[in-house]
Amino acid sequence: MNIELEVYDSAEHAIKELKLDRRRKWEIWGDGLCYPHKYTAPCSGCSCDCSDGYPCNHGNSGCHECGYTGKRRDVVPVPAIGKNGNPIIIKINPLSQ
């Protein structure tokens, strides 16, 4: 299995060459080109408060960790995929910085 990586010298060059969506905020994550994907998920610190004697809301009121909203906002990097279906690699020359 031969994997051919697409390597570019800058993020701007890769975005222009591959005609990636310029509305996204592209970043270099490690050595790959990615964009941050934001999502909302239930808070992992919230739990059902049935045992305290008050009416149960099954964690919907939240906790101190999530600001009593019951939800968490988080971000994950989504890699840019090149023409051959592999992630795009950015190799910056350390002498050019």
- 76-86 pLDDT, tens per residue? 999 988 888 88
Tell me, yes or no, whether 1 lies in a domain.
no
Q: Using alpha carbons, list the distances in angstroms from residue 52 to 7, 22, 27, 58, 64.
A: 57, 51, 46, 12, 17
| pTM of the predicted structure, to 2 decimals | 0.62
| 49 found inside a domain | yes
Enclosing domain of residue 66: 6-96
What domain count does the chain have? Answer: 1
Structural domain contains residue 15: yes
How many CB atoms are located within 10 Å of the residue 8 CB? 19
User: In the numeric block, which tokens belong to residue 20?
Assistant: 């990636």
Over residues 10-29, the pLDDT tens digits come to 888 888 888 888 888 998 88
